[in-house]
Structure 1
């Protein structure tokens, strides 16, 4: 937070949007860092962290906001820079009454106080929420894959067809899909219409393999042969395992047909995303100022 405070040391009013640009240059952020989004996809990471730094500094009353999204250093802020601490982070700001009031304003001030003490100086509350969400989602995906492995091969074949239907293939109608299973032709476990009119079909191969194993090129060659036998141009190979490098390279070189590979991790993530085999436990709404309301628009 110290660079943000130093930027305001000229006593001028700085707009937040301008501060984003100046600080990005000052920190020599590379293109990947400038384009990195929070897991929620709502805001760029570097802008989020600058925003929270401004919030913390304002709560500590070392800066003020004379106009919306604009900031200026206070006399207290000048005293901080004169003191020249090595870092200005949440722990440092706890020495100021305004920041203590901010901590104590929550209904669970002990929890917030501990959280602010424990987190790194470059992590905002949004970072923590997004990181917690990612951890919960990854754990759920792992548990989901374990549950899938406990089911029968027939269940798995139906699951992959249901997943594609939930993703919108077949016009989201189950009657536009078919599980072939043991009655299938030469390694085709299912077929689904690509759209509600059925102009094209997607053929499916489902392999419920040990998650520690990898599907190799020979299995993909068989699948390509099965697609050729059906006169098909599109296929999806879905497995609970992973794919070898050779298998991926082989698929990428196919010209006659397009094959999508979905491994165990991708399968679980898609199931979570499309609410297949999972249910919502809790919902949290994070709100922000509606600037259009205050602008009279």
Structure 2
């Protein structure tokens, strides 16, 4: 966020960042010695902080009897923006997480979504020789209903294609399984989606993954709750 504010990075579209000409010059001059102080000393960052301070000062000068009309649509848009920013940050966090820990997180998410069932069990397979299966969820005590999971903690440009889906399908057949879940922090090609549909494999890409984690509160926590009230007309008509 600070790199973007300072002008060292730009964001041409959601979830994508690229270095600017200024960022290239700073990188060439300082290399790995880029510090927070250096980033905060950039003119764009200083100007941003100045405008922020002016806004804070203006807000403090507003008298208590002044009111502002804020529509529900504006409130909704603001919350949508916060949610969008959160999912971007969450996705970046996931991509920098240890791969084995990431596997545990994904199994935990599926558990939270209710796939483990009331008395079921779940586990993450060993780091090596897992046979293409990263997680196993037994939905009942006897393991008669089992979901096999494969996860790929990939960068955004490392897209999952149909060969990866076919490979996962082979791993499922070795387990005599008829269904599986493939989770990635990147995305799937159209060929991968078509193959998954034919092979009864559910796909979860980076966007869906972060939305599910927010929805089921896995890896996130509620910072503040606001309640919007309205008159209960039925109460007055009783």
Normalised by the length of structure 1, the TM-score is 0.55
Shift, 1:283, TM fit: 0.5
Flag the 1:157–1:128 CA change in 2: closer, same or farther, 3 A.
same
Flag the 1:277–1:160 CA change in 2: closer, same or farther, 3 A.
same
Flag the 1:235–1:129 CA change in 2: closer, same or farther, 3 A.
same
Distance 1:109 1:181 in 2: 62
- The aligned counterpart of 1:220 is 165
Shift, 1:247, TM fit: 0.4
SS in 1 for 2:81: helix
- The aligned counterpart of 2:89 is 143
Distance 2:142 2:229 in 1: 41
Residues 40-79 of structure 1: pairs in structure 2 closer than 5 A:
none
SS in 1 for 2:172: helix
SS in 2 for 1:243: coil
Distance 1:107 1:179 in 2: 56
2:138 to 184, 193, 198: 193
- The aligned counterpart of 1:109 is 66
- The aligned counterpart of 1:3 is none
Shift, 1:133, TM fit: 1.0
Shift, 1:263, TM fit: 0.5
- The aligned counterpart of 2:100 is 154
SS in 1 for 2:116: helix
- The aligned counterpart of 1:295 is 237
Task: Tell me whether 1:243 sits opposite 2:188 in the alignment.
Answer: yes
Shift, 1:126, TM fit: 1.4
Contact conserved, 1:166 with 1:172, CA < 8 A, in 2?
Answer: no
Shift, 1:241, TM fit: 0.6
Contact conserved, 1:227 with 1:235, CA < 8 A, in 2?
Answer: yes
Distance 1:282 1:229 in 2: 47
Contact conserved, 1:184 with 1:190, CA < 8 A, in 2?
Answer: no
Structure 1, unpaired ranges of 5+: 1-105, 116-124
SS in 1 for 2:218: coil
Per-residue CA distance 1:161-199 (angstroms, 9 max, x = gap): 0111111121267x7101004245421001012356643
Per-residue CA distance 1:18-63 (angstroms, 9 max, x = gap): xxxxxxxxxxxxxxxxxxxxxxxxxxxxxxxxxxxxxxxxxxxxxx
SS in 2 for 1:206: strand
Contact conserved, 1:193 with 1:199, CA < 8 A, in 2?
Answer: yes
Distance 1:211 1:231 in 2: 32
Alignment length (residue pairs):
176
**Coordinate RMSD, CA, aligned:** 2.1
- The aligned counterpart of 2:113 is 167
